[in-house]
Amino acid sequence: MRTTVRIDDELYRAVKEQAARAGRTVGEVIEDAIRRSVTAEDQEPHERPPRLPTYGGSGVLPGVDLTNNAGLRDLMDTDEPVDALR
C-alpha cells in the first residue's frame, strides 16, 4: 500500500542514514519501526486500577441501599450529621 506521510526533516535524515547503513530502503526501516511500535502497544501490560484507601467503620447505615443513586443523593444532601442518622 502506498501513502503519504509528513515526517520531520531531521527524523527523515536519521531514517535515511540508518537505512543506508543497513542496506535497506527507507520504507522498510519505517515499516519496521511502525510494526515494533504497534506490537509493543499490544504487549504493554494494562495499568492496574489505583488502590483506594479503606477505613474502618460500622458499615452502611441501616436502610441505605447502595444501588439506589437517588436515595444516596438524598442522604448526602441532608444537613444532619452522620452520627445522628445511625
pLDDT tens per residue, range 4-44: 999 999 999 999 999 999 999 999 999 999 999 888 766 66
6: closest CA among 30, 24, 23, 28?
A: 30
| pTM across the whole model | 0.48
Give the whole-angstrom CA distance, residue 7 versus residue 16. Answer: 12
71: CB partners within 8 A, 6+ apart: 64, 65
Q: Determine the distance from the C-alpha atom of residue 57 to the mean position of all C-alpha atoms in its chain, rounded to a whole number.
A: 33
Residue 17, pLDDT score: 96
N- to C-terminal Cα separation, the chain: 69
